[in-house]
Structure 1
Amino acid sequence: MTAALIGRAHPAAALRTELDRAVASHGGLVLVTGEAGIGKTTLVTGLAEDARRRGAWVLAGTCWDSDSAPGYWPWVQVVRALRRALPEEEWARLDTATLSALLGESPGSDGFRLHDAVTTALAAAAHDRPVVVVLDDLHWADAASLRLLEFAARHTWFERLLLVGAYRDVEAEAPGHPLRELVLPLVAKATTVTLTGLAPSEVAELMSRTAGTEPDPALAAEVHLRTGGNPFFVEQTARLWHSGSPVSAVAPGVRDALRRRLSLLPAPVTRLLTDAAVLGREFHRRILAVLAGVPVPEVDQLLARAAAARLVTALGEGRFAFAHDLVREARYAELEPAEVRRRHAAVVHALDAAPDLAPLVFAADRARHAYLAGAEVEPARAVELLVAAARDASARLANDESVGHYRRALERATEPRRRVVLALDLGTVLTRCGDGEEAWRVFEEAVALVRELDDDSLLARAALTLSRTAPTGARLAWTSDLLVAAHERLAGKPAEPLSLDRVTLELAARAAVLARDGEDDQELSFTLWARHDLIWGPGTARERERLTDELAVLARRTGDRENEFFASSLKWVALLEQGDPRYLEQYRSFQGLTAGSGLPFAEFAALLDRSIVSALRGRFAEAHADLDRVEATYGRELGYMVDQVRWSHLLLQGRFDDLAACTARLAAGDHPHPDLLAALTAVRQGDATRTVMGPFSREFAPMWLRYQAQAAALTGDREACSRLLTELTPHSGEWLVALYGCEISGPVDLWAGLLEAALGHQDAAISRLTAAAASADRLRLRPWAAEVRARLAAVLSERNAPGDADRAAALTAVVRAEASELGMPHLAAPPAAPAAVPANEFRRTDEVWTLRFAGREIRVPDAKGLRDLHILLGSPGTEIPAVRLLAPEADTAPTLGGDPVLDETAKSAYRHRLDHLDTRIDEAAALGKDSLAADLDREREALLAELRRAAGLGGRTRRLGDEAERARKAVTARIRDTLRKLADSHPELAKHLNTTVTTGSSCRYAPGADIRWRL
């Protein structure tokens, strides 16, 4: 390390030791801390020079003012340097998609996908030679960058990688600093080198080197006393002293020194630097020229003078930065508050007047100027820029940043309607961030304001927004009441009660009409997306295609890139669902639209769609490779979706061993219906004994329909075959598509053909299967074409009409060749014999149960006791708590014990809300707002119902132990009631269950012999 460092021998030695370790074996994390100007940058610069001389790659990044910098900015610089350093072939071996997205738009996400990609890239580079990463000014870092630094330090301990960070500890570690809780864990893991002031003799040496004149000891001691030995302050003082000024000029602080230094420059330079200070630490010469009202050539001349004075440095491509942030702070501090607001407003107005300059400024930076301009910028314009920044952050998957922009927009907004929409958007992003409690507080405030405004369209928007956040419990009841109230306001009170789905669908349609009438593109986009998602299911693809077309137009008109991508992706899904070959052209259009976007979510969507289409076309190796990349980069943030798509690939390919492991992962995770996946896997293997209870939500309904058709055809259940055939026939020519395109469940005619065959309608079956094969061919979906032809060959062999045997043999040969080429060996093998269906049956179809035992079969209407028995028969020998039987749809049963269902804090919150509602109801009634009073009263009744459910006799708090006892009594009573009724209609079954089923706090079915059931 350079010997020119004054008074830094011990810190330099400590860094050299860490560098030695990194060069020889493994690295670590070093933090260099101290106050502004103490010499941190000089010290780490010396370390970087030493590392380069020893053959290490040095990658550097400098943080920027966090109010305006995009997320991960220091890491963007590091990855840029890494890309320049690495040979092209080595770069290509990395996760270039993720790294290129980082470079293209500087994503601000703090998610695993970017952490892992950057860390892996650094570790890969360290295999060839040591790598030193220097991150300066971490006190200005965004939170996501610090999390990435901690992630990299944790996961590269044994790599030849040294991570070095420098920051102002007096700022970043101070109580109340927003980054303090992220910095302190880094300190615990790091080797920390804290720089303090120079000694008096060292101050004298630095002054001598700076001024070229050796000060006398008394003068050096005075400067040390005044500056505390801060090298930057010493240098500034020494320069002033050398120009003839007394050292006392430093006494008020470094700002006085900077002011004096700047006064030596021409006035146009200092004025220009003041304008630059408003722009931020970094700025573009063209933006500065517009703000200052000076031609660009003149700005170049003035910046050259400032660079010569070492106040600014050129970054290239027209961008400059202050040499030290204290220079910018000093110029910025010279401005009065009113002047600060005026200048920030001038930036906004200048950019509005010159749209061609907008790409030179980050959306977050424009929003910062608008916010700091205060009343100098119209509130509506400030909100518009803040919302644009929030959406830009969302498109970069930087949800934390998006939340901040929405908060500031809500703070600045004055128009009540706009405040409602902002609050709903803020709540939605908070939900996406996992902060459900705060999200619902924001939602409640928005709904309260909606009710005050008495606005029908806003009430619809609020109700639809809340319905899409998957509310549960009291929130579900509250949301349901809100949906009903909004529907009644827009459509009138229905003659008879409607299902909640019907209410929601009609509400979306009415809200769309209002948005069209009001020519409100943003509102129309919201309502059309709501309708798109609400109508999902067979027979709706044509309408969804039209919706995606209109949504794409709206997105382009409003500059909403995110929704443009979504519309393009879901259009190819709608076309494929209709059996329209144009889906492939639309898919390619979507890929082209996302290429080079630089937005992480767009890159993810394009990669996931490519994996799905590759699998559908038989390119399984490519499909799994793309899916591996999605999982490595984004998997943890997408929940079960990656494994769901992988499961679909494996099922189509017939990799049943791998399917078992995949289904187990999904069951252990957050997948809502792993039982449906397990049943679909089993029935595809010819096993119809593993059943599942439906129905399912609309996005899973096509998979449920597919399962029912396969199971009914396999078992030969004529009643089920006829019912399902009636349901499928209107959708002939279509394909079953679930989960918004993440699961393609084959052509409708395939499953209808299997049902026809099971019913003995072989001619009809052959006709339908032939149509299904033709559809698969038109769509170029080779795996499905092979699947259909294998089924068609089996039906032809069974019919055995003249020519059928030859046609079946020819089809079988084609299928085997395709199966071999595509890697689908299960199609080449002879079909497995269906698993024996148990003679005993305990199965529900819609609201009717089929019960068969000891040769007798009956059908009985649905009852809770039958559902309890169904669960017990499905787990013979297993103790099942009565509380789970009481609420089988719950994710987990309550823990037994004496804890109250509602604690005192919760009850207090309920009482507070009830008091507030009582006051609001009285106010509404006094003002004659009867509809508002009615809405508030419905919410009050819902809260009271929740309290009643949590209370025992006399209003005493109900405890979880009480819940267990209630469950024991309820379940025992309804099972016994069911067995009493069965004694008349099926005495053999009733006798068997009476002797094998025990009830109590836990219930159990324990048959003495090996009795199997079709459930």
Structure 2
Amino acid sequence: MTAALIGREHPASVLRAELARATASHGGLVLVTGEAGIGKTTLVTGLADEARERGALVLAGTCWESGSAPGYWPWVQVVRALRRAAEPHEWAAADSATLSALLGESPEPGDAFRLHDAVTSALITLSHDRPVVVVLDDLHWADPASLRLLDFAARHTWFERLLLIGTYRDVEVEAPGHPLHQLVLPLVAKATTVTLTGLDPAQVAELMGRTAGTDPGAELAADVHRRTGGNPFFVEQTARLWRSGSPVSAVAPGVADALQRRLSLLPAQVADLLSDAAVLGREFSLHLLAAVAGAPVPQVDHLLGQAIATRLVVALGEGRFAFAHDLVRESRYAGLGIEGAARRHAAVADSDLVGPAERARHAYLAGALVEPARTVELLLAATRDASARLAIEESIGHLRRALERAPTVRTRAVVELELGTVLWRVDDKDEAWEHFEGAVTAVRELDDAELLARAGLTLARVDPGGARHELVSGLLLEAHRRLCAGTPAEQLSLDRVTLELTARAAMLARDDEDDHALAFSLWARHDAIWGPGSGAERERLTDELAAIARRTGDRENEYFASSLKWVALLEQGDPRYLEQFRSFQALTENSGLRGAELAAKIDRSIICALHGRFADSDAALQQALDAHLGLSEREFGFMGDQLRWSALLLQGRFAELADLPARMSDAGHSHPGLLRALAAAHAGDAAATRELLAEATAEAPYSREFTPLWLRCQAQAAAVLADRPAAERLLAELAPYSGEWLVSLYGCDLSGPVDLWTGLLAATLGDHDLAVDLFTAAARSADRLRARPWSIEARSHLATAYQNLGDTTRAAELFDTVTAEATSLGMHHIPARVRSARTEPLPLNEFRRTDSVWCLRYSGHETRVPDSKGLRDLHSLLGRPGTDVPAVRLLSPEADFAPTFTGTPVLDDTAKAAYRHRLTELDAAIDHATTLGNDTRAATLDTERAALLTELRTSSGLAGRTRRLGDESERARKAVTARIRDAIRKLADLHPTLADHLHATITTGSSCSYHPPTPTPWRL
């Protein structure tokens, strides 16, 4: 029976069981129910065929929809079939007169009981010889008398081999008020009821394939299931239209008639309510529907109950409902007309009960009934919401609609900038530039300086240093001229122009109380200042951005401000970063915003790696990649591989990360050479570092988000290559950021504490005492931040510094400790580095001070001498072999200047003012570092402060006159030359060999230098 049926295995098995029971011993009543087209007749027809195969007599009657049918019409058909099938003696034994009356062949019987008994007796008589199956189809059209006869027969044939089967549309008959409602209830009470429902999507696909002869595919089948509710008749009709070339959205005439008949049975109030609901979409909420209908919630709930009873609507729970078929919704929506639908869409757009995307959609569909400016505002809010859910295509759709409805040239320019930015993010750069150029044209037409600044800042953010650099710089310079007073833009760097412009744009946005413009300006400034030393300002910016986001309901920006705040705190070496990170994780949990939840997984991966939980980091990254599935690869780009590369580098798994830079380059990474050079330097491979550093240098200039990574790369390369000039330059560049961390790519790469890299540079210059201080500070900073891998990195170098100072006991203890810790974390390169350091021969020569005594060893002979300025000068020169050191620097080593001109003021008034401004900044920074307990950072800043004060004092002569550089250089030349010569002269008696070496290799004058004929290593 079920071979030709789809999705009806269970109902068919129930009918088959009832047939088996009737064939063997006794029968009963079975009612097959369901909506029109659901497959009741097909199912029962299949059972009838199987009954005949088993030798049963099948008698059938079908009710007639027309009210003109005679009474007992389905039974008339049954009795006619009975007479044809009965043997003469069986017919004679029956109450033939009464049966003939039923057939219209004799006068009417005197009462209904006699008729019911006659029909029932005849059926019983037939069942003595063989099982009998009576099928009454479409009982929803039956007359009351026919139902009463069915009830009588069911009551009196329970122990006979007689199976009674009826089919009807329960959603119609069982609805209160239907004329047959009270007659059906007694039948249902004594019957086995089989209720047919719609097919599932897979069964719809199978039925469509069987009907159309072509597999529709899962997506199309799901669409048809959604539209038809899985009703087999609707599915077949749709499949036939689809096979003929029509879209599945077309409605077959038979389906339309069935829907119209069904809807016509609804009370007017229910039908009107469904029309209101049709505007809301396939699913809708009770309270929103009540708001649109303008009716009390209890009344709407009651009317929905009637729609549920007719199976036109289903309850989803928690006050949400859905149309059973999209076809029902579409038919109600079509009946509203354009004006009626627009009026209802406008009502939804004014409601706070729907999300941003729905409000924007309804505002757009409401047409002129919603002000264009309001529609654009809602569409932009929906864009931000979609972006937070990583629904990029949806964002683009909202922006295209906003562009279509933009009421002014200014609005159009803003929307085109937004649309161009999103298109740029998904690598659709050609169309993006079309919109950017459209925005610039509109801006110039308006002659709006603030909008000009926004256009320039937007283009600078999306394409820094790109092919249209001239256009971008022109916009920024013009905007700066018009908005910023002070130094002319042409005399400033483009970076400075951008910074001043972001500050001015933010101020104007605050004056105008324009939160959206303010948020844009602050984000532009956040990105423009990225780099070492900007953490404190970025912390303040993220606080304000989060406040703006909460004020405007911009959840996406609230989450990202929260994320970037922990990055800013970590960059400052502030342990509060961990509390902020946890706050961000809690904020995004169950947010429903895919972008925020993806960012939380990425951040968790970064923090786990920072803490040395590399397996957890891998798992979190995999979760992020899994969450990324379905997104545009262009949108996610190389970030997954960048995170993996950073974690692998921290573990020293160089072979595994070797292929990642090339793969990242294919995904849009602009600096694969930087990654290769840094990996080589971290591995300590001097030959590869020298070669790859050239490649990385060729990739310069680096954008701000990559600058910290580039600084780290240069520092490690200088150490590996023993490049003293580079080490000096980088030490001076990085020293002001002592106590901070190098953070790149908005937190996606954490490159450790600055003190680690300055310590490495100090060790390269032979200043191992300073290296010890810096490595110790780096380890303490890493410990405060719970960054175990970086603590191990710092202490491994600290052990080497102790060894270079001759403190082998402390070095050995530290080597053992870091080796054990590194092994437990899986940092493979640390044990190898320790083995190499332990076997590396120590320098045979020493020029090192302890307190006020110098230990000098050369050519196997050692002596100790008291401290003097000349020895300090020699120490400086030995640490910079082959380098000319100005005498003024040796005279005042704490001063941070190296004059190259003579006869000019040492410091002019502008320089003095700058020094005083820097002193004010240093005072604030020292207070901040002291508050954090970062004594090393405070001491470094205090040293700089003392040097500046010394410089200010030495730049003035008698009565405050400005001292001239020529005077200072000459004084330094004489003083330093005398000091050095005196120190060498005194060494001649204590260590003649060393004195001879220094006399031959040291030159003095305006610049002094140490030039040994062959490389001479020193422990300094």
Global fold match (TM > 0.5) = yes
Contact 1:733 1:747 in 2 (8 A): yes
* Preserved contact between residue 736 and residue 748 of structure 1 (Cα < 8 Å): yes
Deviation at 1:791, TM superposition (A): 0.6
RCO (CA 8 Å, sep 6+): is it higher in 1 or 2? 1
Separation in 1 of the partners of 2:6 and 2:621? 50
SS in 2 for 1:468: helix
Q: Which residue matches 1:414?
A: 407
The CA distance in 2 between the partners of 1:377 and 1:288, in whole Å, is: 19
Mapped partners of 2:203, 2:475: distance in 1: 51
The answer (yes or no) to whether the contact 2:625–2:640 under 8 Å persists in 1 is yes
- Amino acid corresponding to residue 683 of structure 1 in structure 2: A
Identify which of 691, 700, 705 aligns with 2:706.
Answer: 700
Q: Which residue is equivalent to 2:823? A: 820
CA distance 1:816–1:165, shift in 2 (3 Å)? same
- 1:473 is displaced (CA, Å) by 6.4
* Cα 1:793–1:267 shift into 2, 3 Å: same
Q: Output the CA distance in 2 between the equivalents of 1:707 and 1:197.
A: 66
Which shows bigger deviation, 311-320 or 756-765? Answer: 311-320
State the alpha-carbon separation in 2 of the partners of residues 761 and 648 from structure 1: 30
| Residue from 799, 808, 825 that aligns with 1:805 | 808
Shift of the alpha carbon at 1:568? 0.9
Q: Is the 8 A contact 2:569 2:577 kept in 1?
A: yes
Q: Map Cα deviations across residues 294-333 of structure 1 (whole Å, 9 max, x no partner).
A: 2222212222223333433333332223333333333333
Q: What amino acid is the match of 1:704?
A: W
Shift of the alpha carbon at 1:550?
A: 0.8
Separation in 2, partners of 1:269, 1:379: 33
Q: Give, in whole Å, the separation in 2 of the partners of 1:795 and 1:556.
A: 50
Partner of 1:288: 289
Go from structure 1 to structure 2 and tell me whether the alpha carbon gap of 1:287 and 1:536 turns closer, same or farther (over 3 Å shift): same
Moved more, 478-487 or 602-611: 478-487
Q: CA deviation at 1:388?
A: 2.0
Alpha-carbon distance in structure 2 between the residues aligned to 1:715 and 1:826: 18
Q: How does 1:62-81 map to 2 (within 5 A)?
A: none
SS at match of 1:489: helix
From the superposition, tell whether residues 473 and 623 of structure 1 become closer, same or farther in structure 2 (CA, over 3 Å): closer
Paired residue for 2:221? 165
Closer, same or farther in 2 for the Cα pair 1:392/1:197, shift >3 Å?
closer
Contact 1:447–1:462 (CA<8 Å) still a contact in 2?
yes
Distance 1:571 1:670 in 2: 27
Q: 1:329 to 1:757 in 2, by over 3 A?
A: closer
Structure of larger gyration radius: 2
8 Å Cα contact 2:480-2:497 kept in structure 1: yes
Tell me how far apart the structure 2 counterparts of residues 265 and 163 of structure 1 sit (CA, whole Å).
Answer: 33
Partner SS state of residue 797, structure 2: helix
Is 2:511 the counterpart of 1:517? Answer: yes
Give the C-alpha shift of residue 382 in structure 1.
2.0
Equivalent pair of 1:426/1:439 in contact (CA under 8 Å): yes
| More moved, 656-665 vs 762-771 | 656-665
Aligned equivalents of 1:404 and 1:163: distance in 2? 22
Could you tell me which residue of structure 2 aligns to residue 339 of structure 1?
Answer: 340
- Once residues 816 and 393 of structure 1 are traced to their aligned partners in structure 2, the CA distance between those partners, rounded to angstroms, is 49
CA distance, structure 1, for counterparts of residue 301 and residue 527 of structure 2: 54
Secondary structure at the counterpart of residue 659 of structure 2: helix
Q: Secondary structure at the match of 2:488?
A: coil
Is residue 2:381 matched to residue 1:427? no
Matched, 1:785 2:830: no
Q: 1:687 aligns with which of 673, 682, 685?
A: 685
Q: Provide the residue aligned with 2:636 in structure 1.
A: 638
Whole-Å separation in 2 of the counterparts to 1:39 and 1:297: 30
Letter in 1 for 2:349: V
User: Could you tell me which residue of structure 1 aligns to residue 648 of structure 2?
Assistant: 650
Q: Identify the match of residue 741 of structure 2 among 723, 730, 735.
A: 735
Instruction: Name the CA distance, whole Å, in 1 between partners of 2:346 and 2:205.
Output: 28
Residue 760 of structure 1 is aligned with which of 731, 741, 766?
Answer: 766
Distance change in 2, residues 1:510/1:40 (3 Å): farther
- Counterpart of 1:327 in structure 2 is 328
Tell whether the 8 Å contact from 1:313 to 1:321 is kept in structure 2 after alignment: yes
Residue aligning to 2:384: 391
Q: CA deviation at 1:422?
A: 1.7
Aligned to 2:909: none
Matches within 5 A, 1:58-457: 134=202, 165=221, 167=223, 195-196=239-240, 233-234=253-254, 254=257, 262-349=263-350, 351=351, 355=352, 358=353, 361-457=354-450
Describe the shift of the 1:345–1:479 C-alpha distance in structure 2 as closer, same or farther (beyond 3 A): same
1:672 corresponds, among 670, 673, 678, to 670
Note the alpha carbon deviations across 1:953-972, whole angstroms, 9 max, x for none.
xxxxxxxxxxxxxxxxxxxx
Q: Supply the AA of the counterpart residue of 2:321.
A: F
Counterpart of 2:607 (choices 609, 613, 624) is 613
1:567 and 1:618 map into 2 onto residues whose CA distance is 26
Q: Quote the RMSD (CA, aligned, Å).
A: 3.8
Identify if the C-alpha distance between structure 1 residues 580 and 11 changes in structure 2 by more than 3 Å, giving closer, same or farther: closer
Following superposition, the deviation at residue 474 of structure 1 comes to 5.4
- Distance 1:435-1:675 versus aligned 2 partners, 3 A rule: closer
Q: Residues 246-289 of structure 1, C-alpha deviation per residue, up to 9 Å, x if partnerless?
A: xxxxxxx64xx756654543332222222222222332222122
In structure 2, the residue matched to 1:552 is 546
Equivalent residue for 1:578? 572
Are the counterparts in 1 of residues 724 and 764 from structure 2 also a CA contact under 8 Å? yes
CA deviation map 1:629-676 (0-9, x unaligned): 323442744221111111111111111221223344335543211111
Give per-residue Cα distances to partners, 1:831-854, cap 9 Å, x unaligned.
476999xxxxxxxxxxxxxxxxxx
Secondary structure at the residue paired with 2:743?
A: strand
C-alpha distance in structure 1 between counterparts of 2:285 and 2:489, whole Å: 65
SS of structure 1 residue aligned to 2:273: helix
Report how far residue 137 of structure 1 moved. Answer: 11
Task: Give secondary structure in 2 for the equivalent of 1:744.
Answer: strand
Once residues 615 and 621 of structure 2 are traced to their aligned partners in structure 1, the CA distance between those partners, rounded to angstroms, is 10
Q: Which amino acid in the other structure matches residue 731 of structure 2?
A: L
CA distance in 1, matches of 2:205, 2:404: 30
Within the candidate set 440, 444, 469, 2:462 is matched to 469
| Alpha-carbon distance in structure 1 between the residues aligned to 2:598 and 2:615 | 18
Q: Give SS of 1:502's match.
A: helix
Question: 1:482 & 1:401 partners in 2: Cα distance?
Answer: 30
Contact 1:39–1:232 under 8 Å retained in 2? no
Structure 2 distance, partners of 1:783, 1:295, is: 63
Once residues 531 and 683 of structure 2 are traced to their aligned partners in structure 1, the CA distance between those partners, rounded to angstroms, is 26
- Hey, what's the Cα distance between the residues in 2 that align with 1:290 and 1:427? 37
Give structure 1 stretches of 5+ with no counterpart: 17-37, 47-130, 139-148, 154-161, 173-191, 199-229, 237-252, 837-856, 860-1015
In 2: Cα distance, 1:324 partner to 1:705 partner: 62
Question: Are the structure 2 counterparts of residues 572 and 296 from structure 1 closer, same or farther at C-alpha, using a change threshold of 3 Å?
Answer: same
My pick for the range that moved more, 570-579 or 274-283, is 274-283
TM-score, normalising length: structure 2: 0.57
Q: Is the 8 A contact 2:477 2:489 kept in 1?
A: no
- Mark the runs of 5 or more structure 2 residues left unpaired by the alignment: 13-34, 44-198, 207-214, 229-235, 243-249, 841-881, 885-1020
Alignment coverage as a number of residue pairs: 628
Measured in 1, the distance between the counterparts of 2:322 and 2:711 equals: 62
The CA deviation string for residues 960-1003 of structure 1, in whole angstroms up to 9 with x for no partner, is xxxxxxxxxxxxxxxxxxxxxxxxxxxxxxxxxxxxxxxxxxxx
Q: TM-score, normalised by structure 1?
A: 0.57
Q: Distance in 2 between matches of 1:390 and 1:165?
A: 30
Determine the structure 1 residue equivalent to 2:105. none
SS class of match (2:462): coil
- Kept after mapping to 2: 8 A contact 1:133/1:163: no
Whether the 8 Å CA contact 1:134–1:163 is kept in 2: the answer is: no
Could you tell which deviates more after superposition, 306-315 or 813-822? 306-315
What is the percent sequence identity of the aligned residues? Answer: 59
Cα distance in 2 for partners of 1:457, 1:494 equals 18
Output the CA distance in 2 between the equivalents of 1:533 and 1:300. Answer: 52
- Are 2:800 and 1:744 equivalent residues in the alignment? no
